[in-house]
């Protein structure tokens, strides 16, 4: 399973489990995270209870209980271990797929998103397109999009990545195979000739600040800043229409 940090690690309590979870520094077998339902494909540390076979990625362990997310500005989202619905599952408002693990939820609005979807970066580069794509939290009215990566029609209610200048769109899951909770890798900046230069100067300054952040908790805050940048970009684009 891997080496437990025995003498130096007394373990930590997590709200989702009754027992103390010990840090597994070097997992040697495939463990599945009970929070995001994803395996340890990066060999990064896990917290675990061997007795119950209950495991959490270190980043999932440290995910905040309350999250103010730009996709749902009207209310804060609360992290739940178990979906509050009688079915024991939920449909993610971000990617549209079913979830059985942890979710960020707004009880007032029946709004639910996967833990990993909440960590999707606001901008990203993909191999299939030259320019940086920005996350969009839903489509304009009377608009339809086909994913330019998998060629499948996209659901108008779900999030997607988009380059407005080239009209290039992508499902979240096509752009990011497995987003890692709380980790937002530094993105290479490629100039987009279709973008607004004055807006980009402010965005680049914010991106430089975000890229200097190393602490996991601060990276979650950085994600919110990225989302705000994306929102301002969408508003600016609408003003040009």
Same-domain pairing of 93 and 48: no
Same-domain pairing of 186 and 76: no
Q: How many domains does the chain have?
A: 3
The alpha helices in the chain, defined as continuous H runs, are 58-61, 115-118, 172-175, 197-211, 216-240
From 38, 61, 84, the end of a domain falls on 61
Same-domain pairing of 107 and 124: no
Residue 18 to residue 5: CA distance in whole angstroms: 20
CA distances from 190 to 54, 177, 187 (A): 42, 21, 9
Same-domain pairing of 106 and 126: no
Rounded (5°) CA angle 140-158-202: 65
Same-domain pairing of 7 and 108: no
pLDDT class for 169, splitting at 50, 70, 90? very high
Least confident window among 41-45, 100-104, 171-175, 235-239:
235-239
Same-domain pairing of 105 and 196: no
The dihedral over CA atoms of 57, 63, 69, 74, expressed in degrees to the nearest 10, equals 130
Same-domain pairing of 100 and 132: no
Same-domain pairing of 78 and 140: no
Same-domain pairing of 20 and 132: no
- pLDDT for position 45: 82
Question: Is pLDDT larger for residue 241 or for residue 48?
Answer: 48
Give the residue numbers spanning the domain of 10: 2-61
Residue range 171-202, pLDDT digits in tens: 998 888 655 554 433 333 334 444 443 434 44
% residues pLDDT > 90 (the chain) = 28
Please give the mean pLDDT across all residues of the chain: 74
Same-domain pairing of 129 and 47: no
Say if pTM beats, i.e. exceeds, 0.85.
Answer: no
CA distances from 121 to 185, 197, 231 (A): 8, 22, 13
Residue 57 to residue 186: CA distance in whole angstroms: 20
* Mean pLDDT of all residues in 71-78: 91
Same-domain pairing of 200 and 109: no
Same-domain pairing of 55 and 164: no
Residue range 75-100, pLDDT digits in tens: 999 999 887 787 888 999 999 999 88
Residue partners of 26: CB distance under 8 A and separation at least 6? 2, 3, 43, 45
CA distances from 202 to 122, 124, 135, 228, 232 (A): 15, 18, 18, 12, 11
């Amino acid at each position: 399973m891997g080496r437990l940090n025995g003498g130096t690690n007394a373990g930590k309590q997590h709200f989702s489990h009754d027992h103390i979870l010990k840090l597994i520094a070097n997992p040697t077998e495939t463990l599945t995270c009970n929070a995001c339902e994803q395996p340890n494909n990066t060999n990064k540390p896990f917290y675990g209870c061997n007795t119950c076979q209950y495991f959490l990625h270190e980043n999932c362990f440290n995910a905040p209980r309350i999250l103010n997310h730009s996709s749902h500005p009207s209310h804060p989202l609360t992290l739940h271990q178990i979906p509050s619905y009688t079915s024991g599952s939920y449909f993610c408002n971000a990617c549209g797929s079913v979830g059985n693990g942890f979710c960020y939820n707004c009880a007032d609005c029946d709004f639910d998103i996967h833990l990993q979807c909440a960590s999707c970066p606001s901008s990203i580069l993909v191999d299939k397109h030259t320019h940086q794509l920005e996350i969009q939290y839903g489509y304009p009215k009377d608009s339809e999009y086909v994913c330019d990566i998998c060629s499948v029609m996209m659901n108008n209610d779900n999030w997607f990545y988009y380059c407005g200048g080239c009209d290039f769109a992508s499902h979240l899951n096509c752009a990011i195979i497995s987003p890692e909770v709380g980790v937002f890798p530094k993105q290479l900046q490629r100039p987009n000739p279709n973008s607004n230069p004055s807006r980009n100067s402010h965005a680049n300054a914010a991106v430089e600040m975000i890229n200097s952040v190393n602490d996991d908790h601060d990276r979650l805050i950085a994600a919110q800043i990225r989302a705000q940048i994306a929102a301002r970009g969408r508003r600016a684009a609408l003003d040009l229409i």
